[in-house]
Amino acid sequence: MHNAISISDQVAEQSKRNITQVIEAYSKRLFGFIRRRVATQADAEDILQDVFYQFADRVDDVDQVANWLFTVARNKITDGKRKHKPSLLDDVFGTEGAENDQLDWTELLFDEADNPETSYLRGVFWDILYQSLDELPEEQKQVFVLHEMEGLSFKEIAAQTGELVNTLISRKRYAVLYLRQKLEVVRNELLNY
């Protein structure tokens, strides 16, 4: 009986060491991956923590650690975005002219269906959106993120930044036009592929 307890303790200790090694090896890269795709550092930290908690529960079931970690992180990011639907989807997605047989980002992103194609397209959308946000001038990016993704009003943003509300509205408009253009290009590429 004493041997069974000793072996069980050794397995538990080895599992703890494996988890610690994985966290040390992947936390920086994984955090960078997540941070580029979420609005705030706090959101990135929360997602990273959730990924490692989930990993700790399944450490013995995971064969390809890096692939598993990044897949779970991407899924958690997508789930978070799905829960927070931006208020001006038609402005951002530019779907008002979409025909019935065309790709509609709005339907795709907030549809409850979860199949490989939908997951892939959602990932493409968020990657392009964040890449395009990084291409914007910092002032336009800031107002877009604060208004659309963090849900602040223009008055709150004006109080925080010291800018006039009309200036903020104008900056967001330019950001929306640029993002719409980038998403339209991607949508056309996907449709013509």
Domains of the chain as residue ranges with CATH:
1-83 (1.10.1740.10), 85-193 (1.10.10.10)
Task: Compute the mean pLDDT over every residue in the chain, rounded to the nearest whole number.
Answer: 76
Instruction: Please tell me the predicted confidence (pLDDT) of residue 159.
Output: 92
Residue 185: which residues within 8 A CB-CB, separation 6 or more?
none
pLDDT > 90? residue 16: no
pTM attached to this predicted model: 0.49
- pLDDT band (50, 70, 90) for residue 145: confident
CB 131 within 8 A of CB 148: no
Alpha helix ranges (H) inside 59-115? 65-83, 89-93, 105-110
Cα 154 from Cα 144, distance rounded (Å)? 10
Mean pLDDT confidence for 53-65 = 79
pLDDT > 60? residue 154: yes
pLDDT > 80? residue 96: no
- pLDDT band (50, 70, 90) for residue 98: very low
∠ CA 138-144-145, rounded to 5°: 85
| 114-123: Cβ within 8 A, 24+ apart | 119/75, 119/78, 121/190, 122/78, 122/81, 123/74, 123/78
- pLDDT band (50, 70, 90) for residue 150: confident
Mean pLDDT confidence for 85-103 = 47
- pLDDT band (50, 70, 90) for residue 174: very high
Instruction: Please tell me the predicted confidence (pLDDT) of residue 78.
Output: 77
Instruction: Please tell me the predicted confidence (pLDDT) of residue 139.
Output: 93
